[in-house]
Every structure is written in C-alpha cells, then in structure tokens.
Amino acid sequence: MSERPTSTFAAQRASAFVLIPIALWFLWSLAAHAGEDIEGARAWLGQLHNKLLFGLFVTVGVFHGRIGLHEIIQDYFYGGMAKTLDTIAIVAAALIALITWISLFQI
Amino acid sequence: MVDTPAGAARPTAAPPHSPPLSPHLQIWRFTPTMAASITQRATGVANFTGTALLAIWAFAAARGEAWFAPVAGFLASPIGQLIILGYIWSLVFHGLGGLRYLYTDTGRGLEPETATKAAIAVYVGSIVVTLFIAGAALAARAS
C-alpha cells in the first residue's frame, strides 16, 4: 500500500469521511445550479459558505485522490517510473487545489 | 525458476527489493466484488479528473465571460452533458462503494454471499441515485 501503511490507511479513511457530506452538498448544488450563466455562477460562488465548501471539496478530494493514485501506481509500476508518476500526481493535486482557491477568492 | 538457465534474462525487469506488482486485470476471474473493486479505482481516477474540471470551471468564472463562455458552452454540449452525467455517476459510485469499504473495514459483511450482494447493490444504487440527481437537475432548469 505505501511506505507508511497505517497512516496512509487512516488518512484515506479520514478524508473519505470528510468527503461524504461535502460530496452530498456538491451533488445537490450541481442539480440546483447546473446550466447557469456566469452571473449565476459568481453569485453562487460569491457566498462564503459555498466558496469554502467548493474549495474543501476540491482540496480534500485531491488529497484523497492522491492517496488512491499512489496505491494504483504502486500496484503497476516499479522504481523510477513509479516515482515519476507519483510526482506528476502530487504536482497535479497541488495545482488543482491552488488554482481553485486563488480563483475562488478572486470572485 | 527451476528450469531457467543460469544467467538467462528475467521475464520482467524487477529491481531488487521491490514489492510485487498486481497481475494484469485480465488475470482475475470475474465476480461482482472484483468488478466493484476495479470500478472503485476507475471512478477514483475519474473523480480526480473531474476535480481538475472544477478547478478550470472556477478559474473561468473568476476570469470573466471570455473564459467562462467556452467552458459553459462545452459543458452544455452533448459531450459536456455526458461528461457531467458520467462525473455524477462516478462520484455516486465511488461514494457508495466507499461506504461499503468503510463497513467491511470493521470486519463485517465479508462472507462471499453478503459481499457479492453488497457489490451488486452499489452498482444498482449508483445508477438509481444518478438518475434521481439528473432528474432533479432537469426539473430545476425547467422551473
């Protein structure tokens, strides 16, 4: 699973627990706001609680996703290739979270 | 290893001290639990990609109409709608499948019959919930 199996297992489960209610909020929001124009999107993201929940969904999501991607990489790749793919996953996760938070607070 | 001549090339270039890899997907006998396990991973990767879409969407909303219009236009196209529907299903499946794992983590529900039923329930449940959400979205837009 990982070089630190117990803490990785715990982090994966803990982030899963956190994501369940936020994902419910996200799916409910998606159903309520799908297809809105930029004014609608900005009005929605302009509300602080939506901003925070959206940012948390993305951030905890990529944190949780990084653990899963690492697990998959470890199952199918060796040494150098595994390290490269892990690095790509970490950079992608960080970029996704960073772009999201910067964008949210520009709205 | 018995009939491998000394010095022959190893079938795979496994570095020393590396953990074993998983067999290829085709090697497993098909069972609902095995399918649910693979689907859990596939939807996990899809959800990660979907999160990247959310970042792009938020970025476009922050930049202005010139950025937002093409993103919204793509999402409103048939392909975009299919991606959104797939993302909803992927999130729902991974969430329901995750609940299944959180339950089996406690050491319960591991009997083959129960595990098979739970795996099938995750598939059926994910489709039902996805249709419900898609229906709610269409109803919200119509009103």
* pLDDT per position as a tens digit, A9-32: 999 999 999 999 999 999 999 999
3-state secondary structure of B110: coil
Are A85 and A77 in contact by the 8 Å Cβ rule? The answer is: yes
Q: Within 13 A of A29's CA, how many CA atoms are on the CB side? A: 19
Pull the structure tokens for residue A46.
Answer: 């302009």
DSSP A38-60: HHHHHHHHHSHHHHHHHHHHHHH
- The model's confidence at residue B141, banded by pLDDT at 50, 70 and 90, is confident
Please tell me which of the candidates A32, A78, A96 has its beta carbon nearest to residue B52: A96
Q: How far is A34 from chain B (nearest CA, A)?
A: 7
Interface probe for A, chosen from B18, B26, B37, B48 (most Cβ of A below 10 Å), is B48
Interface probe for A, chosen from B45, B91, B126, B132 (most Cβ of A below 10 Å), is B91
Mean residue pLDDT across chain B: 90
pLDDT for residue B4: 47
- The model's confidence at residue B28, banded by pLDDT at 50, 70 and 90, is confident
Q: What angle do CA B120, B125, B126 make, to 5 degrees?
A: 100
Are A22 and A56 in contact by the 8 Å Cβ rule? The answer is: yes
Letter for the amino acid at A73?
I
Q: How far is B142 from chain A (nearest CA, A)?
A: 11
pLDDT for residue A86: 97
Q: Quote the DSSP letter at residue B17.
A: T
pLDDT for residue B12: 59
Confirm or reject contact between A17 and chain B (CB < 8 A): yes
- The model's confidence at residue B1, banded by pLDDT at 50, 70 and 90, is very low
Phi/psi at B77 (nearest 5 deg)? Answer: -70, 165
How far apart (Å, rounded) are the C-alpha atoms in residues A11 and A19?
A: 12
Higher pLDDT, B60 or B26: B60
For the cut 50, the answer to whether the pLDDT of residue B137 exceeds it is yes
Q: Are A75 and B21 a contacting pair at CB < 8 A?
A: yes
Are A53 and A26 in contact by the 8 Å Cβ rule? The answer is: yes
The H or E element spanning position B22 is none
Residues of B in contact with A46 (CB under 8 A): none
Predicted TM-score (pTM) of the model is 0.90
Residues of A in contact with B68 (CB under 8 A): 37-38, 41
For the cut 80, the answer to whether the pLDDT of residue B18 exceeds it is no
Count of other CB atoms within 10 angstroms of residue B26: 5
Mean residue pLDDT across chain A: 95
Letter for the amino acid at A30?
L
* pLDDT per position as a tens digit, B38-88: 999 999 999 999 999 999 999 999 999 999 999 999 999 999 999 999 999
The H or E element spanning position B130 is helix B112-142
pLDDT for residue B20: 79
